[in-house]
C-alpha cells in the first residue's frame, strides 16, 4: 500500500520505510508533485501533525501520516516545545537554537546536575487512512541537557541532548542505528506500525 509521509527528509523517509516493512511503499509529497511548504500553524504537536496529514489527504485521497517533534525542558517550563525549530527566531539555525537553550538554562540552573536539567523529545504522529479519520501515536525519548555541545552526528539539538538510554553520550555521539532504537520519532512510528499490523486486516 502506498502511504505518504509528510517530509522531504530522506533520513526520515528511510527510517519509516524500514519500520513499516515491505507491505508499505513510503513516498514523499514531492514525489507526487506536492512541493510547496505544508502549513504548520497549530498550537500543539498534535494539531501540527494533523494539519500536515490533512493537507496531504485532502489533495491526494491517499493514506498519509505526518510527524511533529518538540524538545521539552522541565526547568524552562517545557520550552522550546513546538517552537523547537525556531527557538532562536526565524532564519536561525540549530547552532543558534542550541546557543539560546544553553544560555537560558545557565540562567535558571547554574549547576550541571542532570536531574535539574531533565528534558525529553516528544514526537506525535498523525495518521489518516482511506476513511479520513485521524489516529495519533506518540514517542518520547527521556534525557537531560548537557552543559556544552558534544559529537558531530545527528541534527538539531542532538549535540546537547544526553539520552537516558546511553549514559554519558549525547545523541550526536551515538550511531544512527543506536539513535533510531531509542528515538522519539522511531518509537512513534513503531507504535503506528504496530497499530496498523494489529487493527488492519490487510495493508
Ligand atoms: P520536526 O517536527 O521533526 O521538524 O522537528 C522540529 C525541531 O525539533 C527540529 O527543527 C529540531 O530542531 C528538533 N528535533 C526534532 N527531532 C530531533 C532529533 O531527533 N534530534 C535533535 N533535534 C530534533
**Confidence at 36, pLDDT banded by 50, 70, 90:** very high
From the candidates 23, 68, 111, 158, which is the catalytic residue? 68
CA angle (9, 84, 156) in 5-degree steps = 50
Mutate to test the pocket of ligand 1, among 84, 94, 100, 142 (most ligand atoms within 8 A of CB): 84
- The arithmetic mean of pLDDT across residues 112-137, rounded, is 94
pLDDT in tens, 175-201: 988 998 999 999 999 999 999 988 765
Q: Can you read off the three cell numbers belonging to residue 180?
A: 533510531
Q: Do residues 128 and 134 make contact, with C-beta atoms less than 8 angstroms apart?
A: yes
- Report, at the CATH architecture level, how domain 2-201 is classified: Alpha-Beta Complex (3.90)
pLDDT in tens, 112-122: 787 899 999 99
**Confidence at 103, pLDDT banded by 50, 70, 90:** very high
- 84 pocket-lining for ligand 1 (C-beta < 6 Å): yes
Q: Taking the model in full, what pTM does it have?
A: 0.95
120: Cβ contacts below 8 Å, ≥ 6 apart: 71, 72, 140, 141, 142, 143, 184
**Confidence at 55, pLDDT banded by 50, 70, 90:** very high
**Confidence at 202, pLDDT banded by 50, 70, 90:** low
Ligand 1: distance of its center to the CA of 201 in Å? 33
- Is 68 annotated in the active site? yes
**Confidence at 145, pLDDT banded by 50, 70, 90:** very high
As a whole number of angstroms, the distance between CA 128 and CA 198 comes to 16
Q: What is the pLDDT of residue 100?
A: 97
109: Cβ contacts below 8 Å, ≥ 6 apart: 75, 116, 117
Amino acid at each position: 500500500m502506498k502511504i505518504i509521509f509528510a517530509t522531504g527528509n530522506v533520513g526520515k523517509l528511510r527510517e519509516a520505510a524500514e519500520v513499516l516493512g515491505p507491505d508499505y511503499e513510503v513516498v514523499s509529497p514531492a514525489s507526487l508533485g506536492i512541493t510547496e511548504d505544508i502549513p504548520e500553524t497549530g498550537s500543539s504537536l498534535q494539531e501540527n501533525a494533523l494539519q500536515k496529514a490533512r493537507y496531504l489527504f485532502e489533495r491526494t485521497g491517499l493514506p498519509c501520516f505526518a510527524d511533529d517533534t518538540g524538545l521539552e525542558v522541565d526547568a524552562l517550563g517545557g520550552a522550546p516545545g513546538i517552537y523547537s525549530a525556531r527557538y532562536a527566531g526565524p532564519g536561525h539555525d540549530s547552532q543558534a537554537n542550541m546557543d539560546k537553550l544553553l544560555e537560558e538554562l545557565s540562567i535558571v540552573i547554574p549547576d550541571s546536575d542532570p536531574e535539574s536539567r531533565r528534558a525529553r523529545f516528544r514526537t506525535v504522529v498523525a495518521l489518516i487512512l482511506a476513511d479520513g479519520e485521524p489516529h495519533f501515536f506518540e514517542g518520547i525519548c527521556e534525557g537531560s541537557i548537557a552543559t556544552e555541545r558534544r559529537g558531530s552526528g545527528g541534527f538539531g539539538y542532538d549535540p546537547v541532548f544526553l539520552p537516558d538510554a546511553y549514559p554519558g553520550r549525547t545523541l550526536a555521539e551515538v550511531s544512527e542505528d543506536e539513535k533510531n532504537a531509542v528515538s522519539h520519532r522511531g518509537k512513534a512510528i513503531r507504535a503506528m506500525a504496530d497499530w496498523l499490523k494489529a487493527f488492519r486486516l490487510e495493508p
